[in-house]
Structures are given as C-alpha cells and as structure tokens.
C-alpha cells in the first residue's frame, strides 16, 4: 500500500443481537473506509459495536479494496 492508502472493508452477514425491538433497522451489510493500514477482526468488530451502539452475534469482514486519503 502507498503511504496515503488505506483498506476498504466489506462487512457482511451481520447477525445483530435480537434482544431489542429495533434490531431490524440495523444494516446487515456495509463497507468501511478503514483509517489505519492494518486491521484485525476484533478491532473492527469493536468499532462496529460502538458505531451502531449495538452488539452482534456474528459477522464477516474482508478487505475488498483500498482508498487514498487526500494529501491537500
């Protein structure tokens, strides 16, 4: 990866914890422009739970590409 290049992560098959009335409004698939060159499943999983303020039972994460941060 180039110096200003970071991974794009595709998150799929998110099985949100169903212990709440509104879990069906949460996405089951989305992409993340990750802001660090390296990532691991635990780190990304924690970020997703914090972002959506929700826990999940299972998840799939894979890198599908890269994005470049503007240098201007």
Distance (Å, whole) CA 17 – CA 14: 9
**pLDDT score for 72:** 58
Distance (Å, whole) CA 28 – CA 25: 9
Instruction: Collect the ranges in the chain with pLDDT lower than 50.
Output: none
Distance (Å, whole) CA 18 – CA 44: 21
Token pair 């240098």 is at which residue? 71
Any idea what DSSP says for residue 39?
-
Are 26 and 19 a contacting pair, CB within 8 Å? no
Question: 3-state class of 49 per DSSP?
Answer: helix
**pLDDT score for 53:** 92
């Amino acid at each position: 990866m180039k110096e200003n290049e970071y991974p794009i992560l595709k998150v799929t098959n998110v099985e949100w914890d169903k212990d709440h009335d509104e879990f069906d409004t949460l996405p089951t698939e989305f992409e993340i422009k990750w802001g660090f060159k390296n990532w691991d499943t635990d780190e990304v999983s924690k970020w997703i739970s914090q972002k959506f303020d929700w826990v999940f039972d299972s998840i799939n994460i894979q890198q599908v590409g890269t994005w470049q941060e503007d240098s201007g």
